[in-house]
A and B are shown apart, each in its own frame.
Chain A
Amino acid sequence: MSTGTLFNHEQPLQPWFWAVLVNRLQIGYFLLILPKILVYPYMLWVILMVGLVSSLNLHLIGKCLAIHDGFMKGVWLRVWMVPAIGILLLKMTLIVRGYAGVVHQFLFPSIGISAFIVLMLVAALYLAKHGMTTVLHFCVIAFLASVWATILYGFLAMPPEAHYSYLYPLIPFQWPSNGFESLLSVWSAFAGPEYLIVLGPWSGGKRLTKYLLAGHVFSILEYTYLFFVSLVFLGSPYLKTVEFPVFNLLRYVQLPFFERLEMIVIPAYMTPLILIISLLLLYLYGALRILLNRNRKPAHTRGLFMVSLAVAGYLLMVDRWLWTTEIHRRMWEQAQMYVVGATFALAPALFLGYYAMQSRRRRNEKTG
């Protein structure tokens, strides 16, 4: 099956790349808002607990990656692509519009949000047009460009700025009013690796589960650490009122030779998002090709460009009409939380179930 250069998979990805990939896919937009949703000290346990439970899901994803024959065929597959495109677009909306909003709020209040939407898409398109293999390799750059920022938070985790008494009490005395929302938000914060299930052809036939888990453990540590810092630095009641605590904290860090670190860190955090966006663009293009039954023809950069153009139009429309205020933002975040949580929970299981069904049918055909 020739798929042109975009989806070329002759060069498999090295195993430890997958760890980095899982980690950066998880640390997406939710990192920015998670501490504000969790608020209470005992939510530290929730992060660890949900992290543990979701590692089971990563086992399933590892199994999905072991599949690399193109078993998916038929009308049903095309039908499936319709909700898939919707989900991809939703995720794209939150990441692009959400982050463009952050940049607008913190860095360039005088430039319109639409300019950043276009810029982020241009960057993602530039990356995506080099093909899937390059995009997947980009995860290392995305990791290196953004992970150093976590070190800066160390300044805030020590007294006198930090008050460790905010960690008490470590157990809840009453079920918090937003308990379900917190559980769900942590669950969807660990979402992201479910996009890897169809990347079997790039796995090179190796068993990858332990690498996926390594990346996952790193994400758990990162979430725990950033929540811990926001908690001891701001305290629960204050944390509740702060938008984007992760960046607001940074505004307090002052190096002897450099201030306003958010000017550097906000663009740096954009690199993993660019990785996700270009991955989503490629997926969208792929899904459209399946939907329109054109996946036997070679993939073109021109097609990818047309898809990006349509996405840009869609996002600009969202920016103009559907996401204009902070209240809208919360609604999008909520919607995203439910949808992403559901896909993370169901996608790997469904994929494996579908595969098992197909292979049984194939075996039956052979024997019968």
Chain B
Amino acid sequence: MKKLGKGLLIVSMVISLTGCSWGVKSNIIEEISPTILKYIDREPDGQLKVSTLIPPLRKEKKRVITEKARLEKEARNEISQKYYRELKSGQLRMLFLSKRLARTDILPILNTWMLDPEISHRLYLAVVEGDFVSFLHHQLQVQELIDFNLYQMFSHYEQQGEINVTNLHRFMEAYFSPYADSMVPLFTLKDNELTYKGTALFREGKMVGEITSLDDILFQMLSHKNWFQKTLPLPEQGIILGSLYTESKVTAPPSGDVKIQVGLKGKVDEYQGKRNLNQSKEVKQLTRELESVLEQKITRIMHQLQQWRVDPLRVGERTLGPLSQPYSEKSWKAAWPDKRIDVKVRLQLESLGLLELTK
């Protein structure tokens, strides 16, 4: 009798813990469609347009489903009702936002994603320029696995750099931080090709600016203390620098200028300029010239950041000391746009690609 009671107890515990009880939402894999990609756009009338790719798990023809709604979660439910399997967001990995939406406040939308216990805070965020829905339609003809491939791209560059990959947690952390602002990678669509364009900068949850092409490379150098950059093209000077080890040091004393010191160590990958790099004097001249070009470019980027009143490089954090906090959140936000910025670049060319071209 005692044994029977124990057995019944264990069985009932197992049943209720495995979720096989009344009123429980089941997740039988054949009956659901876990999506891994979502795209949100805002219509001119203020409604949200949410699109997703289904089904990512089964051998069926994939398709894009789009739904308009006033609220994000409402759209999620409506998409689910449009399809014969229930949509689940537990495997959601990427969230694409249209640029139009990013220009308005995206915090209320991100908030629903934060609150959902199913959704990981590692969800990748990206801003897209152009018609992403027709891109998806087009890609389904060419490559069915577009969503997986995009995910792999993100997770590759998250470790490698080159693209400023960010996720939900990092966005929110920077949003809440008194001395930082969020940034999100920006993609553009040209002739149905998704191209990395640069970094979109956010202030208080609204996109206010973007840093593109060469500037983006410099921007990423600045945002990491130590960094390895595969290539740095400077087409105006006819040179490509390669294998660059960069070390950037930002100091912001409580009063006085912000100092940015960047040390670059690398080699010449390609040179099509007029100087003869076999002569050390000319190499010195070239180095000085490149240094001043880079200094100008970095200064311009910093001025742009100040104009947009954003501080994604976390310069404000550098004002803090273990025993001092010269700027409060408000006073830093007020002081930052008017701070003078002093940029110093030191370039060391280790190898010049000494290839004698003149016979």
Chain A residues proximal to chain B, CB less than 8 Å: 105-106, 108-112, 115, 119, 122-123, 126, 163, 165-171, 173, 233-235, 237-238, 241, 248, 251-252, 254, 259-260
Q: In the bound complex, do residue B117 and residue A105 qualify as a contact, i.e. CB atoms below 8 Å apart?
A: yes
Given A109-B117, A119-B17, A252-B169, CB of A237 within 8 Å of CB of B325 = no
Partner of B13, one of A119, A168, A171, A252: A119
Nearest CB in chain B to that of A253: its residue: B122
Q: In the bound complex, do residue A168 and residue B176 qualify as a contact, i.e. CB atoms below 8 Å apart?
A: no
Residues of A within 8 Å of B306, CB to CB, are none
Q: In the bound complex, do residue B323 and residue A110 qualify as a contact, i.e. CB atoms below 8 Å apart?
A: no
| A–B Cβ pairs within 8 angstroms, 24 of them | A108-B24, A110-B23, A110-B25, A111-B16, A111-B23, A115-B16, A115-B21, A119-B13, A119-B17, A163-B173, A163-B314, A165-B320, A166-B177, A167-B322, A168-B321, A168-B322, A168-B325, A169-B321, A169-B323, A170-B323, A234-B173, A238-B176, A254-B122, A259-B120
Q: Determine whether B11 belongs to the interface, using a CB cutoff of 8 Å to chain A.
A: no
Q: Distance (Å) between the CB of B177 and the closest chain A CB?
A: 5
Q: Distance (Å) between the CB of B227 and the closest chain A CB?
A: 12
Nearest CB in chain B to that of A111: its residue: B24
Q: Determine whether B349 belongs to the interface, using a CB cutoff of 8 Å to chain A.
A: no
Give the complex CA separation of A233 and B121 in angstroms.
13
Q: In the bound complex, do residue A237 and residue B16 qualify as a contact, i.e. CB atoms below 8 Å apart?
A: no
Given A119-B13, A122-B9, A173-B325, CB of A165 within 8 Å of CB of B179 = yes
Residues of A within 8 Å of B16, CB to CB, are 111, 115, 119
Residues of B within 8 Å of A241, CB to CB, are 176
Q: Distance (Å) between the CB of B203 and the closest chain A CB?
A: 16
Q: Distance (Å) between the CB of A3 and the closest chain B CB?
A: 23
Q: Determine whether B317 belongs to the interface, using a CB cutoff of 8 Å to chain A.
A: yes
Partner of B173, one of A169, A173, A238: A238
Partner of B317, one of A165, A251, A254: A165
Nearest CB in chain A to that of B24: its residue: A110
Give the complex CA separation of A256 and B279 in angstroms.
51
Give the top 6 A-B pairs by smallest Cβ distance, nearest first: A238-B176, A168-B320, A165-B317, A237-B176, A110-B25, A169-B325
Residues of B within 8 Å of A112, CB to CB, are 23
Extra contacts besides A234-B173, A252-B121, A259-B120 (18): CB < 8 Å = A108-B24, A110-B23, A110-B24, A110-B25, A111-B16, A111-B24, A115-B21, A126-B9, A165-B317, A168-B325, A169-B320, A169-B325, A171-B323, A237-B178, A238-B172, A238-B177, A252-B120, A254-B122
Give the complex CA separation of A170 and B325 in angstroms.
10
Give the complex CA separation of A48 and B169 in angstroms.
29
Q: Determine whether B272 belongs to the interface, using a CB cutoff of 8 Å to chain A.
A: no
Residues of A within 8 Å of B324, CB to CB, are 169
Chain B interface residue count, Cβ-Cβ cutoff 8 angstroms: 29
Nearest CB in chain A to that of B117: its residue: A106
Residues of A contacting B: mostly: loop
| Interface mask (B325-341 → A, CB under 8 Å = 1, otherwise 0) | 10000000000000000
Nearest CB in chain A to that of B322: its residue: A170
Q: Distance (Å) between the CB of A245 and the closest chain B CB?
A: 12
Residues of B contacting A: mostly: loop
Give the complex CA separation of A165 and B179 in angstroms.
10
Give the complex CA separation of A165 and B320 in angstroms.
7
Q: Determine whether B19 belongs to the interface, using a CB cutoff of 8 Å to chain A.
A: yes
Q: Distance (Å) between the CB of A109 and the closest chain B CB?
A: 7
Nearest CB in chain A to that of B22: its residue: A111
Partner of B21, one of A111, A167, A248: A111
Q: Distance (Å) between the CB of A365 and the closest chain B CB?
A: 48
Residues of B within 8 Å of A165, CB to CB, are 179, 314, 317-318, 320
Q: In the bound complex, do residue A111 and residue B173 qualify as a contact, i.e. CB atoms below 8 Å apart?
A: no
Q: Distance (Å) between the CB of A344 and the closest chain B CB?
A: 32
Give the complex CA separation of A106 and B117 in angstroms.
6
Residues of A within 8 Å of B17, CB to CB, are 119
Q: Please provide the chain B residues from 90 to 126 with a CB less than 8 Å away from any CB of chain A in the complex.
A: 117, 120-122
Q: Distance (Å) between the CB of B355 and the closest chain A CB?
A: 38
Q: Distance (Å) between the CB of A314 and the closest chain B CB?
A: 21
| Interface mask (B5-41 → A, CB under 8 Å = 1, otherwise 0) | 0000100010011010101110000000000000000
Q: Distance (Å) between the CB of B25 and the closest chain A CB?
A: 4
Give the complex CA separation of A241 and B107 in angstroms.
14
Residues of B within 8 Å of A163, CB to CB, are 173, 177, 314, 317
Nearest CB in chain A to that of B26: its residue: A110
Residues of B within 8 Å of A122, CB to CB, are 9, 13
Residues of A within 8 Å of B24, CB to CB, are 108, 110-111
Residues of A within 8 Å of B25, CB to CB, are 110
Max chain A C-beta neighbours (<10 A), residue from B9, B122, B169, B320: B169
Q: Distance (Å) between the CB of A113 and the closest chain B CB?
A: 13
Q: Please provide the chain B residues from 168 to 211 with a CB less than 8 Å away from any CB of chain A in the complex.
A: 169, 172-173, 176-179
Residues of B within 8 Å of A173, CB to CB, are 325
Q: Distance (Å) between the CB of B314 and the closest chain A CB?
A: 7
Q: In the bound complex, do residue B120 and residue A251 qualify as a contact, i.e. CB atoms below 8 Å apart?
A: yes
Nearest CB in chain B to that of A240: its residue: B176
Nearest CB in chain A to that of B23: its residue: A110
Q: Distance (Å) between the CB of B89 and the closest chain A CB?
A: 13
Nearest CB in chain B to that of A168: its residue: B320
Nearest CB in chain B to that of A254: its residue: B122
Q: Distance (Å) between the CB of B322 and the closest chain A CB?
A: 5
Residues of A within 8 Å of B325, CB to CB, are 168-169, 173
Residues of B within 8 Å of A170, CB to CB, are 322-323
Residues of B within 8 Å of A237, CB to CB, are 176-178
Give the complex CA separation of A241 and B173 in angstroms.
11
Q: Distance (Å) between the CB of A196 and the closest chain B CB?
A: 30
Give the complex CA separation of A235 and B316 in angstroms.
14
Q: Distance (Å) between the CB of A262 and the closest chain B CB?
A: 9
Nearest CB in chain B to that of A259: its residue: B120
Give the complex CA separation of A171 and B323 in angstroms.
6
Give the complex CA separation of A248 and B115 in angstroms.
11
Give the complex CA separation of A234 and B169 in angstroms.
9
Q: In the bound complex, do residue B176 and residue A235 qualify as a contact, i.e. CB atoms below 8 Å apart?
A: yes
Nearest CB in chain A to that of B9: its residue: A122
Nearest CB in chain A to that of B318: its residue: A165
Q: Distance (Å) between the CB of B28 and the closest chain A CB?
A: 14
Residues of A within 8 Å of B121, CB to CB, are 248, 251-252
Residues of B within 8 Å of A238, CB to CB, are 172-173, 176-177
Give the complex CA separation of A169 and B17 in angstroms.
46
Q: Distance (Å) between the CB of B69 and the closest chain A CB?
A: 22
Residues of A within 8 Å of B177, CB to CB, are 163, 166, 235, 237-238
Give the complex CA separation of A80 and B317 in angstroms.
55
